[in-house]
Structure 1
Amino acid sequence: MQCFTIRICTKDSGFALNEISHGIVADLGILQRLSKQTQNVSLLSKLALTADEFGINEVIELGLCSRGDVKESLEDGLRYAMTFAGKIAANPHWCVSGVKECIDDINEGNLSVEQGSDKAIWKNVNHMGSKL
């Protein structure tokens, strides 16, 4: 499963985990994904159990967005995203997908660090071999 790896928000972004207020348990994996991505399970539980709306400060506290990726406006956010995307796109496609795959493998618990390192070495050697 590949999750969003980079999140860009604006200062006025609003969020909610409001399924509970509709009488349902969030059932599309959001609770499972967020609980793996945050070290602040207490805050996550509070927000999910109360259905309170929350803003960028809580998103940063949950670790779901970096402070440097919070922009003033939608236009600033879009400009930043395009610049960021251009930097990523300038790298070899096989490297970009390989880096994402390596990070996802470790975060999802699919591979040990040693297995992940071996897989990265295999990808590098395999790709370099096709260029020789």
Structure 2
Amino acid sequence: MEEKYESLEIVEKSPKSGIWYLILNRPSRRNALSRDFFSDFPKALYALDHNPHVKVIVLSGAGNHFCSGIDLSVLGSTAANSGSGESLRRQIMAMQDAVTAMERCRKPVIASIHGACIGGGIDIITACDIRMCTKEAFFSVKEVDLGLAADLGTLQRLPLIVGFANAVELALTARTFSGSEAKELGLVSRALDSKDELDEAVRDVAQAIATKSPLAVVGTKMVLLKSRDLTVDQGLDYVATLNAARLLSPDLTEAVSAQKQKRKPLFSNL
């Protein structure tokens, strides 16, 4: 991971763990999303996705906050320089694509959230595979307060996570809610008492995933995402086709052998 990014940092904290940290790195601006972010982010995810040593990605924020939303200067310059409605539409779609890059990434992405997670921060975490936070973290779907409809994915993904009625209330009021409430709503799977406990819990989950067959993990993420848009019958057909090819992989043989021999399996990298 030699490439440097203006708005991000990539770190492997424990060598050969398979866990890589993708860090929003503008702490002086509470990690507000700059114009650089929307070009850096998909590039960084692509690099991590295609690195065979990466098994799990942890997305976090440097400093005291996860993300305070899109930098207001980006909104101003985007509107001022758009030239036409169609030009502005293309710019919005490019920003949407940068967030959706997390779903295109084959490796699972865990959001580790502390402090503020506002506006564009919600867009980002709803595209992650797993979300965990501190109880004192605070969230807001803020866009209506800026005269906008959230347009980078929150209105599409949040209802699938917390339910339609909850998503409507949060999006129309822009109210702030805590990490504890985020857990009650189902936005996050765990809410921890402190940042240290959050870091440890995220690391434990990431390590658990990193020990599994990379092929199985990638396939599971693919099926879960694909199944959102399919009927149950269509989803079953999709996973049957996927596993028909992958049941012939060496990972299955290794997993069965390891269980019989009561040892840890040794899977190949992707």
Fold conserved (TM > 0.5)? yes
Q: 1:127 aligns with which of 232, 240, 249?
A: 249
1:22, 1:79 → 2: CA distance?
36
Q: Is the 8 A contact 1:8 1:77 kept in 2?
A: yes
Matches within 5 A, 1:10-29: 10-29=134-153
Q: 1:114 aligns with which of 210, 222, 236?
A: 236
Closer/same/farther in 2, CA of residues 123 and 38 from structure 1, 3 Å limit: farther
TM-score by length of 2: 0.43
Q: Is the 8 A contact 1:44 1:62 kept in 2?
A: no
Runs of 4+ in 1 over 6 A off after TM superposition: none
Q: Give the aligned partner of residue 226 of structure 2.
A: 105
Q: Give the aligned partner of residue 49 of structure 1.
A: 172
Name whichever of 89-98 and 55-64 sits farther off.
55-64
TM-score by length of 1: 0.83
Closer/same/farther in 2, CA of residues 117 and 11 from structure 1, 3 Å limit: same
Deviation at 1:37? 2.3
Closer/same/farther in 2, CA of residues 83 and 57 from structure 1, 3 Å limit: closer
2:162, 2:131 → 1: CA distance?
14
Where structure 2 has 5 or more consecutive residues not aligned to the other structure, the ranges are 1-99, 104-126, 254-270
Give the counterpart letter for 2:223 in structure 1. Answer: C
Q: Is the 8 A contact 2:183 2:191 kept in 1?
A: no
Tell me how many residue pairs correspond in the alignment: 128
1:102, 1:24 → 2: CA distance?
33
Where structure 1 has 5 or more consecutive residues not aligned to the other structure, the ranges are none
Q: Highest relative contact order (Cα 8 Å, sep 6+), 1 or 2?
A: 1
Q: Give the aligned partner of residue 60 of structure 1.
A: 183
Deviation at 1:108? 3.4
Q: 2:156 aligns with which of 17, 32, 36?
A: 32
Q: Give the aligned partner of residue 45 of structure 2.
A: none
2:128, 2:148 → 1: CA distance?
24
More strand per residue: 1 or 2? Answer: 2
Provide the identity percentage: 28
1:123, 1:60 → 2: CA distance?
37
Deviation at 1:99? 1.0
SS in structure 2 opposite 1:7?
strand
RMSD: 2.4
